[in-house]
């Protein structure tokens, strides 16, 4: 796995020094990312917000490749929250078009590298063209095992929990006493995905923004001041080095 990264990292660089500090036996299985700061990145450069989102797409590409080379099993990206509908309509339309075009152009890279795409969120409210492309790429990649890229679209943690409760009650109305955490988790969008080991947030904001509220109960959280378009493999490696310093006890007195 380390050799997969050597050709991706410049000799003598800070990235190489960080890579040498990693214990590949202790990497997280699942990394989740709140990608924040595209608009501020553009504003700082006197650019339209669209340019910030385009720059952010390049960060997505580099982080996906780095995670795949590291051997991370799951990477979840918070791409569009339910609250994001409050943004200007022109910006929202541009974001969906950007995603649609990305799926049309980049699906071959997913196939070539055996990367599975999975979408979580309330997909019925997405534009029809975007839903169509998402279904197509999910179907094309559904059997791949190398890494699963989870896109959270029109996603909200509270809405996910409410939807899960409704489904659970409908199917188990006569036997609610049998419900436990394990059974409840099967009704979440992430029923076939392990909980994140590491949650990364860019832009320095100290909040989780309604993201994976159930799933991150024991996730390690790493926050960087860097805006998402500036987030690259060096930042990801820094997060992983810090993650490996943590003692994860899950409420116990002994680390696991």
Per-residue pLDDT of the chain (256 residues; tens, 9 = 90+): 566 777 788 888 999 999 999 999 999 999 999 999 999 999 999 999 999 999 999 999 999 999 999 999 999 999 999 999 999 999 999 999 999 999 998 899 999 999 999 999 999 999 999 999 999 999 999 999 999 999 999 999 999 999 999 998 888 776 777 889 999 999 999 999 999 999 999 999 999 999 999 999 999 999 999 999 999 999 999 999 999 998 876 766 566 6
Number of alpha carbons in the 13 Å side-chain half-sphere of residue 31: 25
* Rounded-to-integer distance, Cα 233 and Cα 227, Å: 14
Q: Which phi-psi region, left, alpha or beta, contains residue 240 (left: φ > 0; alpha: ψ -120 to 50)?
A: alpha
Is 46 catalytic? The answer is no
- Please enumerate, as own/partner, the contacts of 65-69 that have beta carbons within 8 Å and a separation of 24 or more: 65/8, 66/5, 66/8, 66/233, 66/236, 66/237, 67/31, 67/147, 67/236, 68/113, 68/115, 68/146, 68/147, 69/1, 69/4, 69/5, 69/8
- Catalytic choice (36, 154, 226, 235): 36
Q: Are 102 and 79 in contact (CB under 8 A)?
A: no
Topology of domain 28-156+196-242, CATH: Undecaprenyl pyrophosphate synthetase (3.40.1180)
Which strand (E) or helix (H) includes residue 55? helix 49-70
Burial of 250 (0-12, 13-18, 19+ CB in 10 A): exposed
- Catalytic choice (73, 84, 113, 195): 84
Which strand (E) or helix (H) includes residue 164? helix 157-172
Task: Output the DSSP codes for 27-47.
Answer: --SEEEEE---HHHHHHHTT-
Is 154 catalytic? The answer is no
* Rounded-to-integer distance, Cα 195 and Cα 208, Å: 15
The whole model's pTM is what?
0.94
Which strand (E) or helix (H) includes residue 222? strand 220-223
Identify the DSSP state of 194: P
* Residue 128, both tokens: 């029809």
Of the candidates 238, 212, 200, 211, which has an alpha carbon nearest to the alpha carbon of residue 31? 200
């Amino acid at each position: 796995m380390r050799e997969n990264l050597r050709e991706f990292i410049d000799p003598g660089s800070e990235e190489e020094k960080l890579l040498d500090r990693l214990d590949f036996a202790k990497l997280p299985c699942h990394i989740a990312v709140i990608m924040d700061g595209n608009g501020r990145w553009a504003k700082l450069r006197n650019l339209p917000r669209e340019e910030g989102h385009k720059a952010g797409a390049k960060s997505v590409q580099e982080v996906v490749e780095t995670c795949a080379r590291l051997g991370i099993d799951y990477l979840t990206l918070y791409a569009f929250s339910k609250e994001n509908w409050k943004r200007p309509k022109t910006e929202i339309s541009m974001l969906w078009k950007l995603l649609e075009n990305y799926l049309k152009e980049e699906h071959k890279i997913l196939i070539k590298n055996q990367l599975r795409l999975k979408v979580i969120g309330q997909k019925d409210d997405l534009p029809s063209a975007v839903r169509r492309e998402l279904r197509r790429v999910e179907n094309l990649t559904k059997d791949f095992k190398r890494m699963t890229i989870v896109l959270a679209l029109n996603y909200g943690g509270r809405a996910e929990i409410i939807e899960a409760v409704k489904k659970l009650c409908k199917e188990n109305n006569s036997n609610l006493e049998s419900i436990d955490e394990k059974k409840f988790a099967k009704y979440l969008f992430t029923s076939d995905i392990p909980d994140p080991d590491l949650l990364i947030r860019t832009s320095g904001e100290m909040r989780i923004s309604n993201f994976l509220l159930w799933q991150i109960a024991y996730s390690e959280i790493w926050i960087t001041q860097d805006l998402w378009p500036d987030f690259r493999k060096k930042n990801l490696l820094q997060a992983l080095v810090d993650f490996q310093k943590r003692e994860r006890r899950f409420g116990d007195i002994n680390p696991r």
